[in-house]
Structure formats: structure tokens, C-alpha cells
Amino acid sequence: MSPAEDILQPARLHGAQLAAAGATAGLHRLPVYIACTLSVVLANYLLGKDVAWDMLNYHLYAGFSAINDRFAQDYFAAGAPSYFNPYAYVPFYALVSIGLPALVISSLLAAAHSIILWLTYELAVAVAPFADGRMKIIFSVCAVALAFANPILIQEVGSSFADITTAELVLAGWLLLADAVRAPRTARVTCAALLLGAATALKLTNSVHAIAAMAILLFLPLSLRDRVRQGVGYLICLGFGFALVAAPWSYRLERTFGNPVFPLMNGIFRSPEFTTEPLRHFRYIPANLMEALWRPFAMVDPVRLVQEELSAPDLRYAVLAVLIGWLLLRWLWTRFTRSSMVSTIPAGAAARILAALGSALSADWVLWLAGSGNGRYFLPMACIAAVVVIALLFRIFATWAKVRNYILVALFSVQAVQLSMGAQLRWNSVPWNGQWVSVAVPTRLRTEPSLYLTVGAQSNSFVAMFLAKDSGLINFSGGYALGPEGANGARIEALIRRYSPHLRVLWRGEPLAVDERRLALLDDALTRFSLRVDTGDCAAINVQDMPREVTIKFKTSESVEPGEQQPSAINSLMSCHLVPDNTDRSSIIARERAVEPVFDHLEDACPELFQPRRLRTEHYGVYWRRLYMNTDLVASVSHGSVMFLNPLRGGPTVYLGRESDWAKAPLPLACGRRNGRYFATVPEAKEGS
């Protein structure tokens, strides 16, 4: 035997041992898969049916609009999300539309969602460095259990959210790339790119994972030239996978609005029917570097609005940060003391895959935190983080098995306590009773097509599938405000002419005879289209198990928290006929023109807070207001004062001075964001009377 063969022989033996261990783990694949699916389905059953705000607002409508062409009769029916790629929501809509019981639908979805744990198991098998098949199985099961101990993952199992289903495509792509690190194959890289392109087309937030995955290609055991070739091929296939899935919907958007990804990237395509200002949701993005560095530890705190609207405490990222810090310190110690710390676990393909996944995960974390910071969009990486945590624990404490086991017990115990006591695991949990959405629509509304102008931040677009077939919806007030001017106005005016006199308003609330203030607010909103409510022709649409609606209150620190477990006492959508309003609007128009410069100057004084700029001003009772989608803020003018508040996070209304001062020019304003909250102060700001 030659010297070279003497050197290679141990590596071959170790490779053979790992292959045998992989085969042993493969024998246990089916029992692990079955256990994962049963655990997910059982957890879903115990948590109850989830009637989430997003489901009523746009999930159900998205699937409905994907199958039924609604472009000719609806306009922003679910606000801006009306035009996001809807294909990921088709399965949920199809199951609901055929009338299956909610428990059956949710169980089927939960079973499909359990595939994310199957993929996590396969990734864990790939990075497990053990020659012992039994240890490889223990290692992989620990990774799966830690991945499942994710409050956001548990929240979404069996629900209408598409985050898990698209995350499965992402995770499958990363698994193929991990296999390519072990044994480079162009087919694996190509299929991975196609999957990640499709996942991005279905949900654009997955683009972060598609970009970060390129870091894995750096670890392919190939020459630099071949790595570059694989990278170019990856990008080409990524684009092809995206185009293949996005093209049908993008074609319709381009034909209707002149923007193939409407309403996104409108600063480039400049459709006149949406703002061209940049759209970027800052709700969970750290305000500075220190907040970004602290984020893994901030996630441990069981409070809401850290990585999503609900309380979702998660210890895993803090543990991962500590383990990475420990590795860094150990590397520095080794480097400066020139000591040789040899691990009892030999390096090889598993270590290379772990390094690739860890590097790509780090890149993904940075891109995700800078882009959204929303934990729902990080689900595939949360599973990879679980695999990396377990891998690092087993490697760092390879010679201290008892210490490792104590740490694992502590980690799982603390996470279990967090899940049971600190996490909100459903947005609006209700018992398993009947269908997912039970709606009682009066016969007239089911048979007579009408145009419904809807009011409210919750568009209630789900009702579209229960109304007369040719009915249309326009959510013109509450989310992205629409007015009678410009391209929006032309589209709305054409629909009003088409449906007139079959025009109705739709809102969430009580009959106008009970809530007289609502009538004034509705007429305030409708007056921009020269319409008013006909109180003699109203009807109620009863909906079972509706969650509480987000409301905006001024001069109070109260706010409605999402995820509260009690459904609202108001389970009705009210609809009234609309008639032309010939009232002289000159005073309202004059007042609107007077407050417009106030908001414009406020936005110019602090563009960090009040963005996107130059949205439509709405009249709401005694208030004139603008809603800022990027920062969740509401600015208002009333009784001579300028103010703003954040209705989602709560807190007091912030007064910024007199309207008369802001009408002249932008005032000097100290403003910014700190720990998720916005602040602004103006010298000698006084509250109006």
C-alpha cells in the first residue's frame, strides 16, 4: 500500500462508518415521520380552530381570487394584499369551499405542515458526525424536537397561513444544497434553485433565503472555476423557477396595472394606482446596531411585538449566539496560545455541511433582520437554527456527554415552560364546531349582485365568496385609503357607474339604530364619492367566531391587542344601501385642502416616522388623518392640534403643536425610533383646546 493510500484509508473507513450510520438512520425514517405528523396533528387539535385576522382579511380572498377572476369587479378588496401572488392560499380556499368540517381541514393542513419536520430530520442526519447509528438517530430527533419547540411554528400548524408550506420548499432547497456539499451534483443545485425560485414567487419574503443560500455554494468541494459555474447556474435556475410560478399572476397584474409585482416595487414600475414611495415595514426591524445584536436575547422575553404581533418567546437564538461566542473564544485561545485542541469527532463531510449551513444561516439572519425581522418569515431558518444548535452542542461537549445532556434537558425544559406559560399559540382560538367560516347571508345579498364599499382596517374580504356571484368589493377606507381623484378615482367611478343603483356599504359593527355615531363616520367616508347611507335598507351578515377588530383610539393609551382569546361580542357585518348625496361639499373640500399641507410638512420634518409620504387624507369624525403603512403610525389633525399615535403598540397620543404653525412650514422636530417605539418632540408643543 502506498503512503497516499495509507493516509486516505482512515478517511475511507470513517466515510464508510458514516454511510452505515446514515443507513441506520434511514431505517428509522418512517417511524420518525409518522411521529412528527401525529405530534403536529395532535397539537393542532388541542389548540383549537384558529380564526386569524389575516384569514378573514385576505387569506381566504386570495385563494378565491386565484380561481375566480376578480380583476373586473373588485378593487383593493383586501387592501394592498389583494394583489400578492395568491396561489399558496388555493388549497385552503378549496378545502373551505367544498364544505369540509373545520377539524378535517385543519388536520389535513397540519399533516402537510408536518413535512417541515421531516426535512429538518434529513438535514440533521446530514450534519450528524457520528459513526454510531443510534447516536445519529438521537442527534436527529433532538434537532427535530427543538425545531418543533418554536412558538411561531406551533401557532401556524393547521392554519390558513402559507408561511409553513412555502418554508417547506425553502428547506427542501437548502437540503439539496447540503447534499451537494457532500457530493457535488449539478442536478441537486439546479433543483434547489428551482424550489427556492418557486418559494420566492409564492411569497416574496422567501427571497432572503434564496439569496443567503448562495453561501452554501462556497463550500462545494470543487475548484473555484466550478464553484463560479455552479453559482451562475444557480442564479439562472432561480430566476427560471421564480418566473415559472409568478408569470401567470404577474401577467394579469402587468395587464391591469402596468406593474408585474403590483403593488410592490412601484417606485420602479410607477403604476398611477398606488404610491411610488418605498414600502418597508419597520415593525420588527431593529433601530440600531445594539438592538440588532441584542435581538436573539430580546426574543427570550415573553412579550408581544418582538418578532411578531403575538407573544412568541424563543430561547434557541440566544443559545445559538452563546455557542457561537464560545466557539469564537475557543478559536482565539487556540490561536494565541498555539495549542492544538483536537476534537474526538473527526472532521469530514458532516463538518463541511455544518459549516455551510452555519455560514448561510448567519447571512440569512442579517438579511432577514434588516429586511423585516418578522418571525413568520424566518420559519425555514428557525428549523436550520435548531439543527445547528444541536450540532454545536454535540461537538463542543463531545468529551463531556453528561454536561451536554444536562444542557439539553435545561434547554428543552425552559423552552417548554416558555411555550406553555409565555407564548400565545393561537391568534383567536375557538372550539372545533362546524365549518371554518360559518356565514349567514340574507337571500337578497346572495342573489342580487351589488358593489360593496367596505370600511375598516380589516377588509372582511372573505365575505366575497358568500355574496352574489357577480358582486364587487372595494376596501376604500381603513387600510390603503382610496379617493375620487386620479387613476384610483377613475377605476372606482367606473365601477360605481356599472353597478348603480346596486351600491352598498359594508362594515363590521352593530345596526345604525344602535350605533348612531357610526352613521356619521360612514357618511364622512362616503362623501368623497358623493354617496350616503340609506338607513331604510340595511341587512346583517352573521359570522360565527369573529376575532376582535383592530381599532384606533385617540386621547387614550388603550389599544386592542392581537391574539386575544375571546371573540368579539359583535359577530355581524352590516350592509346598507347607498344613494347619491347632493349635499354641498365645498366646505369639506376647503377644509381638506387646508389640512393637506399640515401633513405634508409633518412628513417632510420627519420622514423616518411618517412614511410612505403623501398618502390620502381621510375625514374621520372630528379628525383628519393619514395612516402610514411602513411604521403603523396614524397622524391626525383635530381642534387645531397635530398629533400621532401607534394604535398597535398603544401608548399615549403624542401632540406635536398647533395646526396653524404646521400649515406655514415644517417645524424643527426631534424624532426617531427606540426599542420599537417612535418618539417625536417639537419645541414648545402645545395641545389645542
The fraction of the chain above a pLDDT of 90, given in percent, is: 78
Phi, psi of 305 (to 5 degrees): 65, 35
- Tell me the pLDDT band of 562, cut-offs 50, 70 and 90: very low
Report the pLDDT value the prediction gives residue 545, as an integer from 0 to 100. Answer: 81
With a CB cutoff of 8 Å and minimum separation 6, the contacts of 95 are 105, 108, 109
- Tell me the pLDDT band of 332, cut-offs 50, 70 and 90: confident
Report the pLDDT value the prediction gives residue 648, as an integer from 0 to 100. Answer: 87
Bond before 10 cis per omega within 30 degrees: no
Report the pLDDT value the prediction gives residue 456, as an integer from 0 to 100. Answer: 86
Q: Which stretch of DSSP H or E encloses residue 291?
A: helix 289-298
With a CB cutoff of 8 Å and minimum separation 6, the contacts of 493 are 484, 529
Phi, psi of 120 (to 5 degrees): -65, -40
Q: How far apart are CA 562 and CA 169, in angstroms?
A: 29
Nearest to 663 by CA among 589, 576, 600: 600
pLDDT at 331 over 60: yes
Report the pLDDT value the prediction gives residue 347, as an integer from 0 to 100. Answer: 54
Q: How far apart are CA 360 and CA 350, in angstroms?
A: 15
The fraction of the chain above a pLDDT of 70, given in percent, is: 90
Are 412 and 437 contacting, i.e. CB atoms less than 8 angstroms apart? Answer: no
Sign of CA dihedral 11, 15, 20, 21: positive
Q: Which stretch of DSSP H or E encloses residue 580?
A: strand 572-580
- Per residue in 158-180, pLDDT (tens digit) is 999 999 999 999 999 999 999 99
- Per residue in 372-416, pLDDT (tens digit) is 999 999 999 999 999 999 999 999 998 899 999 999 999 999 999
Q: How far apart are CA 565 and CA 305, in angstroms?
A: 17
Report the pLDDT value the prediction gives residue 623, as an integer from 0 to 100. Answer: 92
pLDDT at 529 over 90: yes
Angle 277-505-455 from CA coordinates, rounded to 5°: 35
- Per residue in 212-256, pLDDT (tens digit) is 999 999 999 999 999 999 999 999 999 999 999 999 999 999 999
pLDDT at 603 over 60: yes
Report the pLDDT value the prediction gives residue 242, as an integer from 0 to 100. Answer: 98
Are 607 and 613 contacting, i.e. CB atoms less than 8 angstroms apart? Answer: yes
Are 412 and 145 contacting, i.e. CB atoms less than 8 angstroms apart? Answer: yes
CA distances (Å), origin 105, targets 12, 93, 435, 503: 49, 10, 9, 35
The cell numbers describing 69, all together, are: 377572476
Q: How far apart are CA 164 and CA 80, in angstroms?
A: 22
pLDDT at 687 over 80: no
Are 463 and 506 contacting, i.e. CB atoms less than 8 angstroms apart? Answer: yes
Phi, psi of 399 (to 5 degrees): -95, 0
- Tell me the pLDDT band of 662, cut-offs 50, 70 and 90: very high
pLDDT at 2 over 60: no
Q: Which residue has the cell 411521529?
A: 35
- Tell me the pLDDT band of 104, cut-offs 50, 70 and 90: very high
Report the pLDDT value the prediction gives residue 677, as an integer from 0 to 100. Answer: 85
Nearest-10 Cα torsion for 485, 487, 491, 494 = 70
Report the pLDDT value the prediction gives residue 129, as an integer from 0 to 100. Answer: 80
pLDDT at 264 over 90: yes
- Tell me the pLDDT band of 22, cut-offs 50, 70 and 90: low
Number of residues in the chain: 689
3-class SS letters over 422-434 = HCCCCCCEECCCC
Report the pLDDT value the prediction gives residue 25, as an integer from 0 to 100. Answer: 56
- Per residue in 564-582, pLDDT (tens digit) is 334 444 688 999 999 999 8
Is beta strand 670-674 parallel, antiparallel or unpaired with respect to 677-681?
antiparallel
Query: Any idea where the domains of the chain sit in the sequence?
Result: 3-47+100-422, 439-583, 593-681
Q: Tell me how crowded residue 602 is: count the other CB atoms within 10 A of its CB.
A: 27
Report the pLDDT value the prediction gives residue 564, as an integer from 0 to 100. Answer: 38
Is the pTM of the predicted complex or chain greater than 0.75? yes
Burial 80-109 (b: 16+ CB within 10 A, else e): bbbbbbbbbbbbbbebbeeebebbebbbbb
Mean pLDDT of the chain: 90
- Per residue in 276-330, pLDDT (tens digit) is 999 999 999 999 999 999 999 999 999 999 999 999 999 999 999 999 999 888 8
The cell numbers describing 159, all together, are: 392554519
pLDDT at 563 over 50: no
Residue spans of alpha helices (H) in 98-162: 102-113, 115-127, 133-148, 151-156
- Per residue in 642-657, pLDDT (tens digit) is 999 999 888 889 999 9
- Per residue in 589-599, pLDDT (tens digit) is 999 999 999 99
Across the range 122-135, mean pLDDT stands at 87
CB-count exposure of residue 35 (10 Å: 0-12, 13-18, 19+): middle
Window from 144-153, 179-188, 547-556, 656-665 with minimum mean pLDDT: 547-556
pLDDT at 613 over 60: yes
Q: How far apart are CA 482 and CA 488, in angstroms?
A: 6
Across the range 37-58, mean pLDDT stands at 94
The cell numbers describing 578, all together, are: 347607498
